A and B are shown apart, each in its own frame.
Chain A
Amino acid sequence: MSVDAQTVRRIAHLARIAVSEADVAPLQGELNAILAFVEQLGAVDVANVEPMTSVTPMAMKKRADVITDGDRAQEVVANAPETEDHYFIVPKVVE
């Protein structure tokens, strides 16, 4: 598996990372090197192996349906560049 320059631009856009045109070719090389490295795993036959979801076999922890949180609007918006009445303020996004 390898990526072309167009895929690099697309992935960057989907991840909202600004990649200059000059950086596309070097990034493509780096990504393809990583993919080639990972591709070595393809040599292992895992046809009958369950995907591992946890290092130790365990069931997912569940919570009871009780209210234990909330009422901390000031903390929630504390790091926002702009707020008003505990709303986050962002540049207009509308369909």
Chain B
Amino acid sequence: MNAPVNPKKLIKGGLHDWEVVIGMEIHAQVTSRSKLFSGAPTAFGAEPNAHVSLVDAAMPGMLPVINEECVAQAIRTGLGLKAKINLRSVFDRKNYFYPDLPQGYQISQYKDPIVGEGEVLVDLADGESITVGIERLHLEQDAGKSLHDQSPNQSFVDLNRSGVALMEIVSRPDLRSSEEARAYVTKLRTILRYLGTCDGDMEKGNLRADVNVSVRRPGEPLGTRCEIKNVNSIRFIGQAIETEARRQIAILEDGGKIDQETRLFDPGKGETRSMRSKEEAHDYRYFPDPDLLPLEFEQAYVDGLAGGLPELPDAKKARFVSEFGLSAYDAGVLVAERASADYYEAVAKGRDGKAAANWVINELFGRLNKEGRGIEETPVSAAQLGAIIDLIGEGVISGKIAKDLFEIVWTEGGDPRQIVEARGLKQVTDTGAIEAAIDAIIAQNPDKVTQAKEKPTLLGWFVGQTMKATGGKANPAAVNALLKSKLGIE
């Protein structure tokens, strides 16, 4: 919490430099078929109230029965966060009134959460890494959804989301800039997606953040914080923090003080504003839910789940660096999505790891980004890309032709080897043919030949002409060697 202050991360006010201190509560929807305490489905996009049981609607006499898979998912997530798993935890009622909360309370975990302290390693753009402490993770119910735009004086309530399991993941106030906060959420999302415990779909609200922001002069105690509720994209998290930090700095530099309150970020207006109505709601009167016994399991159960965990991003990244000789940066890019890492590994298997990484990151990801597609939608399979890389390695095609070949496979599909055969894309290694092309160019450009003896950089021009004359199929190494000897350049 009091790590050395990095001057680069300070925000310049009118009078002083300020340090921003950020902690986050992430609400992650648990991946499960049915809800936390009922057998109604969790799937997104159903007709209004179609995914609602009488338990979720809080009809009198209905009792909650816990979904074992949601418990397992919370434990897996805790293990992925290197956190302490509590073999005994307790469900409490958090009491407040809202139309999309039919019970009048949310079943949550207050004093005894299922997961205790852990940590997340976060890589930043400049190559620096920070460790963010996790305070706790607990299981709780999601609320329903209110629509306010259907009528001028009424709200429409849909309880489909009511009772879906959420994991609330609370970080320590270890973050010191909006960039760190964005990197933290990105990393947490990656871990959750690797674990398969939350799909991380922020557009559907399956991952959302409450952001606690305060500012202080470096070295001073923590300032009063404001909580920005329900920020639902990583970009908005960054913007909300910048906006809120500057608002607080302006107040403090004017001699004012910060009121601890809940605020809402409005991306359209680029401002945060007070949610006064939430203030009185802070008296939640938690007490243990009498409908539910404590949640207890054995260490052996936890160990069994630990044995079934996939290789996580940090471990995979380290392995890519040591096994394939990749840079930490490239390895980081490849492991950001499990599907990308799997694709890369299929391409790299039995091939040069660095070449495979270059092709996957520069050509494939570049092309996918351009078309706004994910790795799951790639038209070029790992086997096809592998074959292209093999053709370069075997000297059958040049790197330039390989890019054309990639484009053909992208748009038309097919076996790269057959395409090379059928369309005569093979690189010309026959020195006779290359020599003939070079001789013709030399004969046509006597002035350039004379100049080249004075100015060896003109070699590049001759290489270009030769490649053009051979349709890009001449072996570049052979072209270079032949040109040098014919032009008399060292």
Q: Is B34 an interface residue (CB 8 A)?
A: yes
Could you say which of B42-50, B181-189, B203-211, B333-341 contacts chain A? B42-50
Which segment of A27-35, A39-47, A84-92 sits at the interface?
A84-92
Contact A60 B39 (CB under 8 A): no
On whether the beta carbons of A71 and B293 are closer than 8 Å, the reply is no
Q: Which residue of A lies closest to B148 (CB)?
A: A94
CB-CB nearest in chain B for A73: B49
Question: Would A72 and B67 count as touching, CB distance under 8 A?
Answer: no
B359 to chain A, nearest CB (A): 40
**Is B154 a contact partner of A92 (Cβ separation < 8 A)?**
yes
B198 contacts chain A at the CB level, 8 A cutoff: no
Q: Does A76 contact B (CB under 8 A)?
A: yes
Cα of A64 to Cα of B147 in the assembled complex, Å: 32
Which chain A positions have C-beta within 8 A of B487? none
Contact yes or no, A60 B66, CB < 8 A: yes
Q: How far is the CB of B147 from chain A (nearest CB, A)?
A: 7
- Is residue A93 within 8 Å, beta carbon to beta carbon, of the partner chain? yes
- CB-CB < 8 A to A65: which residues of B? 32-34, 67-70
Q: How far is the CB of A59 from chain B (nearest CB, A)?
A: 6
Beta-carbon nearest neighbor of B66 in chain A: A62
Of A60, A63, A71, the most chain B CB neighbours within 10 A belong to A63
> Which of B91-99, B127-135, B312-320, B366-374 lies on the face that meets chain A?
B91-99
B52→A70 contact, CB < 8 A: yes
Q: Which residues 64-81 of A have a CB within 8 angstroms of B?
A: 64-73, 75-77
> Are B98 and A60 within 8 A (Cβ)?
no
Contact B155 A67 (CB under 8 A): no
**B-side binding surface: helix, strand, loop or mixed?**
loop
Contact of B98 among A84, A89, A93 (CB under 8 A): A93
Among residues of B, the one whose C-beta sits closest to the C-beta of A90 is: B99
B428 at interface by CB-CB < 8 Å: no
Given contacts A14-B285, A59-B293, A67-B39, contact A93 B48 (CB under 8 A): no
Contacts of B278-311 to chain A: CB distance below 8 A = 280, 283, 285, 288, 292-296
Interface residues contributed by chain B, number (CB under 8 Å): 53
The listed residue (A13, A66, A88) touching B157 by CB distance below 8 A is A88
Docked-complex contact B156 and A53, CB < 8 angstroms: no
Contacts known (A59-B296, A70-B53, A76-B57); A87 close to B157, Cβ less than 8 A: yes
A63:B156 contact, CB within 8 angstroms: no
Could you list which residues of chain B lie within 8 angstroms of chain A, going by C-beta atoms?
Answer: 32-34, 38-41, 47-55, 57, 65-71, 95, 97-99, 146-148, 150-159, 264, 275, 277, 280, 283, 285, 288, 292-296
Known: A67-B34, A76-B49, A88-B159. 18 other contacts (CB 8 A): A10-B283, A60-B66, A61-B66, A63-B66, A64-B69, A65-B69, A67-B40, A68-B39, A70-B50, A70-B53, A73-B49, A88-B156, A91-B153, A91-B155, A92-B151, A92-B152, A92-B153, A94-B146
Q: List 24 A-B contacts (CB under 8 A).
A: A14-B283, A53-B288, A53-B293, A59-B293, A60-B293, A62-B67, A63-B65, A65-B67, A65-B68, A67-B34, A67-B41, A68-B34, A72-B52, A73-B47, A75-B54, A84-B156, A87-B48, A87-B49, A89-B151, A89-B155, A90-B146, A91-B155, A92-B151, A92-B154
